[in-house]
């Protein structure tokens, strides 16, 4: 979450700079106090309300929308991330036992784990 907020702050800052918009102008356009605008753009987004962050983004022409990722794409992304975590654990354990997994075996392990996560119980996919 912190990386996402940091990325958002960077994108908002870059947008303000590209637009050549001053802090006072952004504060006026967004209806958010200048100190809060500066705090948000400095990366301290968590200290501001969602409403203020959304107003700043809107004033910069970057509305925060809830455009969801396609369900299947999101499930595949989650399955790949989890499969890669499992594969790294297996690889680490194998390395401790002097049986390192080569790149091809690693890729196959990730693909197999991903298939199992996508075709098996949904609880397994979303469990920690």
Q: What is the DSSP letter of 68?
A: P
CB 22, CB 6: distance < 8 Å: no
Residues 6+ apart with CB under 8 A from 124: 116, 117
What is the predicted pLDDT for the residue at 74? 87
Q: What is the DSSP letter of 61?
A: T
What is the predicted pLDDT for the residue at 97? 62
Distance from C-alpha of 81 to C-alpha of 110, rounded to nearest angstrom:
9
Q: What is the pLDDT of residues 40-70, one digit of tens each?
A: 999 999 899 999 999 999 999 998 887 777 8
What domains appear along the chain, each with residue ranges and CATH number? Answer: 2-59 (1.10.260), 71-126 (no CATH)
Q: What is the pLDDT of residues 16-39, one digit of tens each?
A: 999 999 999 999 999 999 999 999
Would the pTM of this model clear 0.75, i.e. be above it?
A: no
Dihedral of alpha carbons 37, 42, 43, 47, sign: negative
Q: What is the pLDDT of residues 72-104, one digit of tens each?
A: 898 999 999 999 998 888 877 766 666 767 888
What is the predicted pLDDT for the residue at 126? 84
């Amino acid at each position: 979450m912190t990386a996402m907020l940091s990325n958002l702050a960077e994108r908002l800052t870059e947008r303000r700079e590209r637009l050549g918009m001053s802090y006072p102008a952004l504060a006026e356009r967004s209806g958010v106090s200048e100190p809060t605008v500066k705090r948000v753009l400095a990366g301290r987004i968590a200290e501001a309300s969602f409403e203020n962050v959304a107003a700043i983004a809107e004033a910069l022409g970057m509305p925060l929308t809830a455009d969801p990722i396609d369900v299947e794409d999101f499930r595949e992304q989650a399955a790949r991330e989890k499969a890669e975590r499992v594969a790294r654990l297996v690889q680490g354990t194998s390395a401790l036992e002097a049986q390192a997994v080569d790149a091809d075996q690693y890729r196959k392990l990730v693909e197999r784990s991903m298939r199992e996560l996508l075709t098996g119980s949904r609880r397994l996919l979303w469990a920690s």
